[in-house]
Structure 1
Amino acid sequence: MNRTNLVLHARTSIERGSKSFARASKLFSRQTRERAWLLYSWCRACDDLADGQDHGQEMSRVQNPEKVIAAMRMMTARAHGGEKTGNPPFDAFGVVAQECDIPISLANDMIDGFSLDAKGWRPETENDLLQYCYHVAGTVGCMMAVVMGISARNQEVLDRACDLGLAFQLANIARDVTEDAEAGRCYLPKTWLAEMRIDPDNIMAPERREALVLLIDRLCDLAGDYEASARVGASNLPFRSRWAVLAAAGIYGDIARAIKKSDGASLEQRIYTSKSKKLGWILKAFGQAIFNLARRDRQGLWTRKRA
């Protein structure tokens, strides 16, 4: 495929895989929007390969996951080096990586997260959880910052971009506790579970439901902390990119807020945000982007290991 067709393929992917991100991406300038779609296409494809999904739908068992991860890493390296792989999402990554000089280390860090899942890894501590969130989502925030014009050497701004990825992933984990448990996964740190006397091999036990809800609330509060930090980083972006990032932060942040407000209902039903609330955040983020007043230090927040 040529670049035009790769962009069209990527646009279809984001519209299927994430209506929230697709809506927010329309706020970017055309060039940034296309590059965001190209990057998303690769991220979505890697995630689907790792989880046996199609655009984030129901998970299925992956045969030989280590082999899948190795193939993913190989195709990513080839695409990053400018080779054609014949696989549209990977070729899309090659295009955007070449155009924006995305470091291969960030791509490999993301794939490392899928490797953890393939090994049946579970976090022992909160820091372990945040390190995992960095791999599967914080890296995407960093790469998106580069796509939006931030130098890969500007580590302070990339830390803020990483924070947005952490916020998104923490909200995802809070929303998907039941689905993950059914798939034999749990991302709640073992130290947290021990504090609440929850059996790590049976977190859905009815008699510990209230304790589990408290841990889900804790995830949501963490997501809010990292969302707030990420908003400060948005101040370094061009206006349209700043608007898009603030809109996405608000839209996705509402998922964490709705989960906490549901008081455990998220364990029985998937939490969504309505179209009207998404539109409301697009309008609200416009004003936030104009005034650009967000200020907050990162004291006390986990920080990724910089390359």
Structure 2
Amino acid sequence: MGFDYALVHLTYTIPPAALLSLVYFPLCTRLDLYRIAFLITIAVVSTIPWDSYLIRNNIWSYPPTVIVGPTLFSIPLEEVFFFVIQTYNTSLLYLLTSKPVLKEAYLVKEGSGTQGQKWRYIKMGGQLVLALALKKAIDFVKSEGENTYLGLILVWALPFLLLLWSLAYQLILRLPRACTVLPIALPTVYLWVVDTLALKRGTWVIEAGTKTGLTLWPGLEIEEALFFLLTNMLIVFGLVAFDNAVAILNAFPAHFPNVPSLPSPFLLVRALLVPALAYDDDRILGIEQATERLQNKSRSFFLASSTFQGRLRLDLIMLYSFCRVADDLIDNAASVKETKEWQQKLKKYLDLCYGPAETTKDGKVIQPKDMNRGVATRYIVQNFPPETQLTLLLLPTHRLDKEPLYELLKGFHMDLTFSDKKGSGPIRSEEDLDLYGARVAGTVALLCIQLVLYRYPGISDAKARRLMSAGHNMGIALQYTNIARDLGVDAEIGRCYVPPSWLKKEKLTSETFITGQTKAASSSEPDDFFLKKVELIRHRLLDRAFEFYSKSVGAIEELPRPARAPLRVAVESYMQIARELRRPGYKVKAGRATVPRWKRILVAWRTLLGPRPRQKEE
């Protein structure tokens, strides 16, 4: 009886598990726990017969003086625990690196054109290589010589790898390398070091005559190095296959109309067995375009989106993409005439989405939400740029009320009132600025709450109205932050959203404000007196932002539980911009405030732990 093997765990495997658990705890969901438990179960069940065979046939052994004593099918309990802890650690590392990635955007339809054919050949090529390697491994085992241990490792691992490759080869290859290579390489190298130390100490022993005698470095048998590489590949490939199945379930409602929060193993297998030829490639491309748009245009909301789950995350990304597309079409128009045309086209698009109003016999007006698909699709294809069409087609209008969307267009119309003469615009008073914020941002926040309540029903109508009202106010808070951040950027395009009464207090007009900002941006020695006035105005905007924020932030805790933490992240990630702007000595660069990536991640991590403590300034 001894404790050497137990000390390996206490020294080398349990501390990383504790650290990874601490880091990932705020991000962990029920689906993550299900995913980890699923993988650990498979790892333990599939490894025990193989490991038991190796021990019973004296291919490797554990001296009685290094183990506590109890065994399972001749396997020391410390070894069984190794199966669990290795799977747990590698799984958490994969979950950490892949959390921000929307897997649905990495699916590919096979058989559609050159690209689809290429993926079929890649799949078949991988299957052929693994099958040939498996045949060679069987020959090694049959030879019963120095390649026996190597052959037994390959004979055990390659069938699983072949299966996982066949089911999830697309995501295995297409996901960012940080999601796949890193969770394989880092634990593998770490365990190589641990294994080297254990072999030198005699904690476990590989019997002579069944091994090649080759080493990766002094003290590390080549078979052991391959074993840890393959086991970590199996864990990561298994997780990718799990995520591949979930991505298929979420991405294709035509195949899977209803998806439970914890899909059964049977449902996961059904999803993986859907032929890639049957994927909706337009839907995949639309999701990919929307995700790229979010990632490029809003780092804060992209980070926040990764904390949402399932189809709600897809809905929110498509909503953001629509808002971004509509805003860009109008802002990037070459003339006022073209801007008005885009507004009319967007309005027509919404009219087709929601259809004409119907009146019942008792006089009640009903607005149908079912899009006339044929008419709307033709209109979109004929009137909108190709890169915007899928976003318009995939906007979940049947889950959204039409009024906020029409109000959003009215907000864009307010921007249209900025004339060629710098300074004139829609903001004549503080009330106008509130109205503008309500239309361009309050509406979007309200729509987000609608999507949350659709995906997580069960809240009373009165509470739903209160939550949507709070969301509307929060949207205004975020818009005030946005205006405060972009004072210089807006001035460059001749826009000033600051109410005239605020400017007058600083002895400025909208014209002098825009001119001063433009000069400050191009001058190496800007006017400090003018910049102090700008900062006073900026802080007044931020005061207003925090006023609306304080009115509504508490309502987040009344939302359905799965949506609380993600919406906290969405709000606090953006409000961190406001806090940065308030920080003494903070310098706005290129007319815009930014938050360092490490700080955005830290804010998100803290926010996931619970509501942010209220501060006096808020």
**TM-score range for the pair, normalised by the shorter chain length:** 0.7 to 0.9
**Does the alignment pair 1:114 with 2:412?**
yes
Query: Which residue number in structure 2 is paired with residue 187 of structure 1?
Result: 497
Which residue identity lines up with residue 599 of structure 2 in the other structure? K
Which residue identity lines up with residue 77 of structure 1 in the other structure? D
Query: Which residue number in structure 2 is paired with residue 209 of structure 1?
Result: 531
Deviation at 1:284, TM superposition (A): 1.3
| Closer, same or farther: CA 37–146 of 1 in aligned 2, 3 Å | same
Deviation at 1:261, TM superposition (A): 2.2
- Are the counterparts in 2 of residues 10 and 37 from structure 1 also a CA contact under 8 Å? yes
- Are the counterparts in 1 of residues 489 and 592 from structure 2 also a CA contact under 8 Å? no
Deviation at 1:268, TM superposition (A): 5.0
d(CA) in 2 for partners of 1:269 and 1:107?
30
1:128 alignment partner, one of 432, 436, 448: 432
Deviation at 1:196, TM superposition (A): 1.7
2:306 alignment partner, one of 3, 13, 26: 26
**Does the alignment pair 1:255 with 2:573?**
no
d(CA) in 2 for partners of 1:61 and 1:260?
37
TM-score of the superposition, structure 1-length normalised? 0.84
Q: Deviations over 1:176-197 (max 9, x none)?
A: 1111112111000011111221
Query: Which residue number in structure 1 is paired with residue 243 of structure 2?
Result: none
Which residue identity lines up with residue 249 of structure 1 in the other structure? V
Which deviates more, 160-169 or 103-112? Answer: 160-169
Pairing 1:222-301 to 2, within 5 Å after superposition: 222-261=544-583, 265-266=587-588, 268-288=590-610
d(CA) in 2 for partners of 1:238 and 1:133?
26
1:169 alignment partner, one of 476, 479, 487: 479
d(CA) in 1 for partners of 2:486 and 2:354?
32
What is the count of residue pairs matched by the alignment?
A: 282
Which deviates more, 83-92 or 213-222? Answer: 83-92
d(CA) in 2 for partners of 1:208 and 1:164?
31
Q: Deviations over 1:220-243 (max 9, x none)?
A: 122122223332121122233211
SS at match of 1:272: coil
- Are the counterparts in 2 of residues 122 and 186 from structure 1 also a CA contact under 8 Å? no
Which deviates more, 166-175 or 133-142? Answer: 166-175
Unaligned residue ranges in structure 2 (runs of 5+)? 1-280, 356-370, 382-388, 419-424, 517-526
Q: Deviations over 1:123-162 (max 9, x none)?
A: 1211110110111111000000001116887322111111
**Does the alignment pair 1:78 with 2:352?**
yes
Find the structure with the greater CA-based Rg: 2
RCO higher in 1 or 2 (8 Å CA, sep ≥ 6)? 1
TM-score of the superposition, structure 2-length normalised? 0.43
- Are the counterparts in 1 of residues 488 and 591 from structure 2 also a CA contact under 8 Å? no
- Are the counterparts in 1 of residues 573 and 603 from structure 2 also a CA contact under 8 Å? yes
Query: Which residue number in structure 2 is paired with residue 303 of structure 1?
Result: none
Q: Deviations over 1:175-219 (max 9, x none)?
A: 111111121110000111112211221115345332221010111
d(CA) in 2 for partners of 1:262 and 1:280?
20
- Are the counterparts in 1 of residues 488 and 592 from structure 2 also a CA contact under 8 Å? no
SS at match of 1:188: coil
- Are the counterparts in 2 of residues 141 and 161 from structure 1 also a CA contact under 8 Å? yes
Deviation at 1:49, TM superposition (A): 0.9
2:341 alignment partner, one of 39, 62, 67: 67
Unaligned residue ranges in structure 1 (runs of 5+)? 54-59, 295-307
d(CA) in 1 for partners of 2:597 and 2:470?
27
d(CA) in 1 for partners of 2:596 and 2:479?
20
Which residue identity lines up with residue 97 of structure 1 in the other structure? T
Q: Deviations over 1:102-133 (max 9, x none)?
A: 11111000010111111213312111101101
d(CA) in 1 for partners of 2:590 and 2:294?
26
d(CA) in 2 for partners of 1:103 and 1:3?
22
